[in-house]
Amino acid sequence: MALLEASGIILSFRGVNALSDVSLSVDEGTIHAIVGPNGAGKTSLLNCISGVYRPQRGSVHFEGKDVSRLSPSRRTALGIARTFQNIALFRGMTVLDNLLIGRHLHQKVGVLGGGAYVGPGAREEIAHREKVEDVIDFLEIQHIRKKVVGTLAYGLQKRVELARALALEPKLLLLDEPMAGMNAEEKEDMARFVLEIHEERGTTTVMIEHDMGVVMELSNKVTVLNFGERIAVGPPAEIQKNRDVQDAYLGEQHELEIDG
């Protein structure tokens, strides 16, 4: 059964259709890529899944449960975590604190108990820190653990954002252009992390990505959007040959170049 099932999503802003009848089915344990030209509705679709947008029509089912009416925070509590196209971290806080905030929803002890740092509060804090350190080790960011996020290079900030999403221990990870604006080496690192998250942690991933080389290399399945419509879905090799996709991406020139 699919882990995530979004069906018949219609989203419009004052009559402008951002998504018209888009469906997305993500199987457990896969990496699913969403591609499409600018303005195709990729981020809108991700926002509908995470609950930032409420679509006019359609439903989102997560683990068989209808989550269409739930707020973003409730969906996060169910196990959906995401990163943003433009990094959304607390810039004035350290990497460690940003990640610990990612653990907030797993916090069981109240404000007073947590503040006192004795008994259950202390134990919980230690347990959270352990999870966070696990993620720090996994994403190889030990050297910036105590650095303030705002002072870090862009590529590293992206990695920290991914780390925060992972600190939530999500079942479904939504990545909005994880490699945008990175240099070749950073991209390679990020691609390796996405693969390792998949292999080592078995986390299901939905990823918006422009770099076709990366998409072909990493994903098990690709959904192609164009002007708010789903024009194709299938394994990467098939998508690569799809005529409509080539039209949407390259206009009249019918040769899809794969780099990387």
Partner 1 sequence: MSGLQALGGDDTFPKLLVRNARTIGKRVAMREKEYGIWQSFTWAAYHEHVRDFSLGLVALGVKPGDKVAIIGDNRPEWVFTEIAAQAAGAASVGLYQDSNVTEVAFVIDHCDASIVVAEDQEQVDKILDMLEKLPKVRHVVYTDPRGLRKYDHPALIAFEAVEEKGRALGKEAPALFEVNVRRTTPDDVAIVCYTSGTTGNPKGAMLTFRNLLTMALALDEVDEKKGDDEFVSFLPLAWIGEQMMSLSASLAKGFTVNFPEEPDTVTEDIREIGPDVMFAPPRVWESLVSTVQVKIMDTTPFKRFMYERCMPIGKRIADLRFEKRPIGLGDRIARWLADVLLFRALRDRLGMTNLRSASTGGAALGPDVFRFFHAIGVPLRQIYGQTEISGISCIHREGDIAFHTVGKPIPGTEIRIDERGEILSRSPSVFLGYHKNDEATAATLEGGWLHSGDAGYLTDEGHLVVIDRVKDVMKLADGTQFSPQFVENRLKFSPYVKEAVVVGSNRPFLTAMLCIDMGVVGKWAEKNKLSYTTYTDLSAKKEVYDLVQSAVDEVNETLPPAAKIEKFVLLYKELDADDEELTRTRKVRRGFVEQRYAEVIEALYGDAREVPIDTTIKFQDGKTSRIRTTLLVRRLEHGKAA
Minimum CB separation of residue 156 from partner 1 in Å reads 11
Using rule CB under 8 A, residue 137 touches partner 1: yes
Euclidean distance between the first and the last CA atom of the chain, given in angstroms as a whole number: 33
Q: Which of 66, 196, 238, 244 binds partner 1 (CB under 8 A)?
A: 196
CB 50 within 8 A of CB 60: no
Residue 51: is it exposed, middle or buried by C-beta count within 10 angstroms (0-12/13-18/19+)? buried
The count of chain residues that interact with partner 1, using the rule CB under 8 A, is 14
197 touches partner 1 (CB under 8 A): no
Query: What's the token pair of residue 132?
Result: 């966070």
Of the candidate residues 142, 151, 183, 253, the single one contacting partner 1 (CB under 8 A): 142
The distance of closest approach from Cβ of residue 169 to partner 1 in the complex, given in angstroms and rounded to an integer, is 16
Is 190 among the residues that bind partner 1 (CB under 8 A)?
Answer: no
Amino acid, single-letter form, for residue 123: R
Look up residue 128 and give its amino acid: H
Site track 149-188 with partner 1 (rule: CB under 8 A), x = hit: ----------------------------------------
**Residue 145 found at the interface with partner 1 (CB under 8 A):** yes
Rounded to 5 degrees, what are φ and ψ at 71?
-75, 160
Out of 29, 88, 120, 140, the only residue in the binding site for partner 1 (CB under 8 A) is 140
Beta-sheet strand order (sheet of 16-27)? 16-27, 2-13, 57-62, 65-66
| Residue 136 contacts partner 1 per CB under 8 A | yes
Stretch near partner 1 under the rule CB under 8 A, chosen from 36-44, 76-84, 99-107, 196-204: 196-204
Nearer to partner 1, 192 or 241 (CB): 192
Question: What CA–CA distance (Å, rounded) separates 109 from 56?
Answer: 38
Rounded to 5°, angle at Cα 169 from 166 and 175: 40
| Sign, Cα dihedral of 206, 208, 209, 213 | positive
Which residues ranging from 31 to 70 are in contact with partner 1 (CB under 8 A)? none
Contacts of partner 1 in 104-133 (CB under 8 A)? 129-130, 133
User: Residue 97: what residue type?
Assistant: D
Under the rule (CB under 8 A), what is the footprint of partner 1? 129-130, 133-134, 136-137, 140, 142-143, 145, 192, 196, 199-200
